[in-house]
Amino acid sequence: MKSNRTINNSQLAISLNSLLLLMLLVVNSYAQTLNPLETDPRAARAGGSIFRAQCATCHGADAKGISTIDAPDLTMMWSQRQLSEEDVFQTIRDGISGSIMPPHSFPDTEIWMLVSFLRSVAEVGTSNEVAGDSSRGAQLFTRYCSDCHRANGNGGSLGPDLSNITARRSLSALISSIRNPSVNITRLYKPVSFITMDNESVQGTIKSEDAFSIQMMDSNQVLRGFTKSNLRELRYEQQSLMPTFAESSLSNTDVDDLISYLQSNRSR
């Protein structure tokens, strides 16, 4: 009899405990601003599938946006602005009024999966100080890079301005851009080449394009516009206009020095 009672008491204690736990979880899921799926590695993968089905037509399968319809690059939003996961959750659920970004009536769990996915593809920048000699890097930059790139206001513009690039790209992304530029070609710098009706052959990067015309920067860094029907031949190239820098031309130490220089003139 006595032992039975003890069992009953502890059973009661257990069910009370689980009830409390349940209530805490419920209250938490309303009050918290943290992604409840944060620690679940499957969430980002599941979110990726939802993203490709529901969002990729506008934001691109890689979430890097589609400029022709002004759908923003979602990999950059975290590093460009101080966004919380809750902000992104709300945007996905409510949409953005006055734009084509629609509201979504998905269950909360699926929205958090999307948030997890977007977190996993976010560009985070080069957060650690790279051990390199930045003044040597400055010299290397002038010698090998500044014909095409600006940093600190000086340099060419065939390639993107690199003044703040370390705030937007990870160390491995930067190294890969230098060693294998064609693997991931930056938007607005896609290479194109064509031959005009007067047999001029032109190479450069596409700035904007529609069915009839193309605006580009040619390899002499002059902005030019062409009507497509006036072109004899138009080719979208796979090879970046940036040369590949192998270890034989830039050692790993050189690359560290260059990145350290780029980091030293980062403004935020």
- Residues at the site binding ligand HEC, with contacts judged by CB under 6 A: 54-55, 57-59, 70-72, 74, 77, 88, 91-92, 96, 99-102, 104, 114, 144-145, 147-149, 158-160, 162, 165, 169, 174, 177-178, 181, 185-186, 189, 205, 240-243, 245, 250, 258
Convert 202-240 into a string of H (helix), E (strand) and C (coil): EEEEEEEECCCEEEEEECCCCEEEEEHHHEEEEEECCCC
Nearest by Cα to 157 from 128, 186, 193, 182: 186
Please give the span between the terminal C-alpha atoms of the chain, in angstroms, as a whole number: 72
Q: Write down the least CB distance from residue 179 to ligand HEC, Å.
A: 10
Nearer to ligand HEC, 187 or 232 (CB): 187
Nearer to ligand HEC, 225 or 243 (CB): 243
Nearer to ligand HEC, 6 or 127 (CB): 127
Q: Write down the least CB distance from residue 51 to ligand HEC, Å.
A: 6
Q: Write down the least CB distance from residue 211 to ligand HEC, Å.
A: 20
List of residues 6+ apart from 36 with CB closer than 8 A: 28, 29, 112
Nearer to ligand HEC, 28 or 251 (CB): 251
C-alpha–C-alpha distance, residues 183 and 97, integer Å: 37
Q: Write down the least CB distance from residue 206 to ligand HEC, Å.
A: 11
Q: Write down the least CB distance from residue 216 to ligand HEC, Å.
A: 12
C-alpha–C-alpha distance, residues 123 and 12, integer Å: 50
Nearer to ligand HEC, 132 or 160 (CB): 160
C-alpha–C-alpha distance, residues 114 and 130, integer Å: 32
DSSP state of 145: T
Name the packing angle between helices 134-144 and 252-264 (round to 10°).
100
Nearer to ligand HEC, 108 or 147 (CB): 147
Q: Write down the least CB distance from residue 29 to ligand HEC, Å.
A: 20
C-alpha–C-alpha distance, residues 24 and 72, integer Å: 37
